[in-house]
């Protein structure tokens, strides 16, 4: 098991797919990553994460999103605001959701409620 740490967020590493390939094919290990996400406007990073889901789901043992006040430090710079962060996080979670589905680790769908709704005219 390898927990990669760079001087920047691993989710924004433009060669994460190559890193995952080396982890699997050379080292024979799985990865756990922690990220604050990445910009949905980065076509390069979106392509990397799509490639990870398509080819390397078996490499990841865990993906954690850090929702911390640290990310608020980005607000107000380069057009980043709270809404942009939410949309970036949603896009990243969209890729991660496909990872969960592909790897078989997705949570089960919610069960249908066994309690039927009461009619407005029933008495208790």
| 37-41, 56-60, 72-76: range with highest mean pLDDT | 56-60
Percent of the chain with pLDDT over 90: 15
Using CA atoms, how far apart are residues 68 and 10, in angstroms rounded to an integer?
16
Domain positions in the chain are 10-103
Using CA atoms, how far apart are residues 14 and 16, in angstroms rounded to an integer?
6
Residue 124, pLDDT above cutoff 50: no
Please tell me which residue, 65 or 45, carries the higher pLDDT value: 45
Q: What is the mean pLDDT of the chain?
A: 74
Lowest-confidence range among 18-22, 58-62, 71-75?
71-75
Place of tokens 């949570």: 107
pLDDT for res 119: 47
Q: Phi/psi at 12 (nearest 5 deg)?
A: -100, 5
Question: How far from each other are the two terminal CA atoms of the chain, in whole angstroms?
Answer: 57
3-state secondary structure 104-121: CCCCCCCCCCCCCCCCCC
């Amino acid at each position: 098991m390898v927990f990669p740490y760079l001087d920047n967020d691993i989710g924004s590493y433009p060669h994460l797919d190559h890193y995952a390939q080396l982890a699997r094919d050379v080292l024979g290990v799985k990865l756990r990553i922690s990220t604050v996400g990445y910009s949905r406007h980065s076509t390069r990073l979106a392509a990397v994460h799509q490639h990870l889901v398509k080819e390397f789901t078996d490499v990841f043992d865990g993906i954690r999103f850090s929702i911390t006040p640290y990310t608020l430090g980005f607000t107000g710079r380069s057009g980043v605001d709270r809404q942009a962060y939410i949309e970036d996080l949603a896009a990243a979670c969209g890729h991660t959701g496909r990872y969960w589905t592909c790897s078989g680790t997705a949570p089960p769908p919610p069960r249908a409620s066994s309690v039927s709704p009461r009619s407005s005219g029933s008495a208790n």
